[in-house]
Amino acid sequence: QARVFAEVVNVTGVVLTKLDGTARGGIVIAVQRELGVPVKLVGLGEGPDDLALFDPIEFVEAIING
């Protein structure tokens, strides 16, 4: 779906929601590779104030450290 959307709209980045909880976030890498654009924001909760800038180093450390 994201690829088809990107073919119609000039996508410059991705916002991923629901990265909290049990989600490991592996989709981050797949989406970035598929679309060739950076992940800019991630959702860490339920509200609009729960959006945060995506930090790739912090993301990888969280995966490695569990």
20 — pLDDT class (breaks 50, 70, 90): low
- What pTM was estimated for this model as a whole? 0.69
User: Is pLDDT larger for residue 16 or for residue 41?
Assistant: 41
**Average pLDDT, whole number, for the chain?**
81
In the 3-class helix/strand/coil scheme, how is the chain assigned residue by residue?
A: CHHHHHHHCCCCCEEECCCCCCCCCCHHHHHHHHHCCCEEEEECCCCHHHEEECCHHHHHHHHHHC
53 — pLDDT class (breaks 50, 70, 90): very high
22 — pLDDT class (breaks 50, 70, 90): very low
pLDDT at 66 over 60: yes
